């Protein structure tokens, strides 16, 4: 058992946690988090909205040891041999034997890192507890993140799930993306994604403070996935809103109005595109949140996962009012 008075170093040296620690935090994090105690107060600045980290690590340890949480590389040895950049592309799987529902989770990180510490394994735990089999995707990042490499990684992850978990409700999968992972999830749901690989369209799409418009700001996300000197034509090609059409999946979208990392205009732009194409969606704005809150524990966004699932479940069972072309703000 882990307790709040323990340091991160003590936790990460546990033999069970050590088997996945490289999937929990980017390599450059270890030096400056090792001496932190795993209390919400100490970690709040670094790991906003995660909640109780001791409970998170205890969940991981218990379910890894039970065989419910495992990791798998998704490219074959021959694929990796021909392209070494694919070697670390993998999924962290959360098996839920009581359910056949699927959530594919794509954390953010500006295509520099995969920020699983707030948007990966804590989200997977929350979704597992709500009856989902979860697959957290660790896709290629800089310097190997140039499009369409990350899109290819999503495609390979879906093929991996289809090949190995055919008993699950694959055609009804929920795709969740955060920040740059929201960009990747969002573009996957367009003609640039699943149709090119002859793979299933997401049944539902959850976009959390997503990067949408790559021409909006010449920042790190754009540079990492398109290059420093990419053309505006290329930026438009891989922006989400320019690819939205009437076939886009039903979408739950939220962002904090005080987001200092991803321009708030991104969520306004995608809401407008969804509206103009008559895509059923819900757009939620939290006035007092910034960026990177993941689960949202201890913030005004706490409970957003339940609100998202309530919207989609109501859509499935026909009890929701469609937000076709009309955003909802709370």
Same domain for 39 and 19, yes or no, is yes
Residue at 323 is within a domain: no
What angle, 0 to 180 degrees and rounded to 10, lies between the N-to-C axes of helices 149-164 and 180-188?
70
Query: How many domains does the chain divide into?
Result: 2
Same domain for 22 and 87, yes or no, is no
- What are 98-125's pLDDT values in tens digits? 999 999 999 999 999 999 988 999 999 9
Q: Give the whole-angstrom CA distance, residue 323 versus residue 271.
A: 11
Task: Give yes or no for a cis peptide into 143 (omega within 30° of 0).
Answer: yes
13 near 104, Cβ under 8 Å?
no
CA distances from 56 to 34, 51, 122 (A): 17, 8, 7
pLDDT at residue 59, as a whole number: 97
The arithmetic mean of pLDDT across residues 162-173, rounded, is 94
Same domain for 55 and 79, yes or no, is no
Same domain for 162 and 180, yes or no, is yes
CA distances from 201 to 131, 186, 196, 257 (A): 21, 11, 11, 30
pLDDT at residue 42, as a whole number: 53
Q: Give the whole-angstrom CA distance, residue 103 versus residue 136.
A: 8
Same domain for 197 and 313, yes or no, is yes
Q: Give the whole-angstrom CA distance, residue 76 versus residue 305.
A: 34
Helix then strand then coil, in percent of the chain rounded to 5, is 40, 15, 45
Cα 172 to chain centroid distance, Å, stands at 17
Q: Give the whole-angstrom CA distance, residue 191 versus residue 3.
A: 47
125 near 144, Cβ under 8 Å?
no
In sequence order, the 6+-apart residues with CB closer than 8 A to the CB of 295 are: 49, 50, 51, 118, 122, 123, 126, 302, 305
Quickly count: other Cβ atoms within 10 Å of residue 127's Cβ. Answer: 24
Beta pairing, strands 174-178 & 132-138: unpaired
Same domain for 195 and 118, yes or no, is yes
Residue at 109 is within a domain: yes
In sequence order, the 6+-apart residues with CB closer than 8 A to the CB of 130 are: 305, 306, 309
pLDDT at residue 256, as a whole number: 83
Q: Give the whole-angstrom CA distance, residue 103 versus residue 172.
A: 9
Burial zone of 204 (CB within 10 Å; 0-12 exposed, 13-18 middle, 19+ buried): buried
Residue at 25 is within a domain: yes
Give the N- to C-terminal CA distance of the chain in Å, as an integer: 38
Q: Which residue range is the domain that position 47 belongs to?
A: 1-67
- What are 222-267's pLDDT values in tens digits? 999 999 889 999 999 999 999 999 999 999 999 988 787 788 889 9
- What are 42-80's pLDDT values in tens digits? 555 556 778 888 899 999 999 999 999 999 999 999 999
Q: pLDDT grade, residue 3 (50/70/90)?
A: confident
Task: Give yes or no for a cis peptide into 148 (omega within 30° of 0).
Answer: yes
| Domain CATH for 218 | 3.40.50.1820
Same domain for 150 and 13, yes or no, is no
Same domain for 31 and 175, yes or no, is no
Q: Who has greater pLDDT, 218 or 248?
A: 248
Residue finishing a domain among 9, 37, 67: 67
Largest CA distance in the chain: 53
Residue at 148 is within a domain: yes
Residue at 218 is within a domain: yes
pLDDT at residue 26, as a whole number: 81
Same domain for 14 and 32, yes or no, is yes
Residue at 328 is within a domain: no
Q: Who has greater pLDDT, 314 or 100?
A: 100
Report pTM: 0.93
């Amino acid at each position: 058992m882990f307790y709040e008075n323990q340091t991160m170093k003590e936790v990460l040296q546990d033999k069970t946690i050590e088997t996945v620690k490289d999937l929990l935090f980017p390599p450059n994090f270890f030096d400056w988090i090792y001496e932190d105690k795993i209390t919400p107060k100490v970690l709040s600045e670094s790991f906003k909205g995660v909640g109780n980290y001791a409970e998170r690590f205890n969940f991981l340890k218990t379910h890894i040891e039970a065989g419910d949480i495992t990791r798998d590389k998704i490219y074959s040895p021959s694929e990796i041999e021909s392209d070494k950049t694919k070697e670390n592309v993998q999924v962290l799987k959360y098996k839920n034997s009581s359910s056949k529902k699927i959530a594919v989770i794509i954390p953010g990180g500006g295509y520099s890192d995969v920020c699983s510490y707030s948007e990966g394994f804590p989200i997977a735990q929350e979704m597992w507890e709500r009856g989902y089999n979860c697959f957290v995707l660790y896709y290629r990042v800089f310097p190997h993140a140039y499009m369409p490499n990350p899109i290819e990684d999503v495609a390979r992850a879906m093929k991996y799930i289809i090949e190995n978990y055919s008993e699950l409700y694959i055609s009804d999968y929920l795709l969740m993306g955060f920040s740059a992972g929201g960009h990747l999830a969002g573009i996957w749901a367009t003609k640039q994604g699943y149709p090119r690989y002859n793979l299933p369209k997401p049944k539902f799409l959850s976009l959390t403070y997503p990067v949408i418009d790559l021409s909006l700001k010449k920042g790190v996300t754009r540079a990492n996935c398109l290059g420093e000197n990419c053309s505006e034509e290329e930026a438009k090609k891989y922006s989400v809103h320019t690819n939205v059409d009437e076939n886009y999946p039903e979408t739950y979208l939220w962002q904090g109005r005080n987001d200092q990392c991803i321009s708030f205009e991104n969520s306004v732009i995608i809401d407008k595109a969804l509206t103009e194409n008559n895509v059923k969606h819900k757009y939620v704005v939290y006035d007092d949140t910034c960026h990177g809150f993941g689960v949202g524990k201890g913030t005004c966004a706490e409970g957003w996962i339940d609100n998202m699932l309530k919207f989609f479940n109501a859509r499935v069972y026909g009890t929701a009012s469609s937000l076709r072309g009309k955003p909802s703000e709370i």
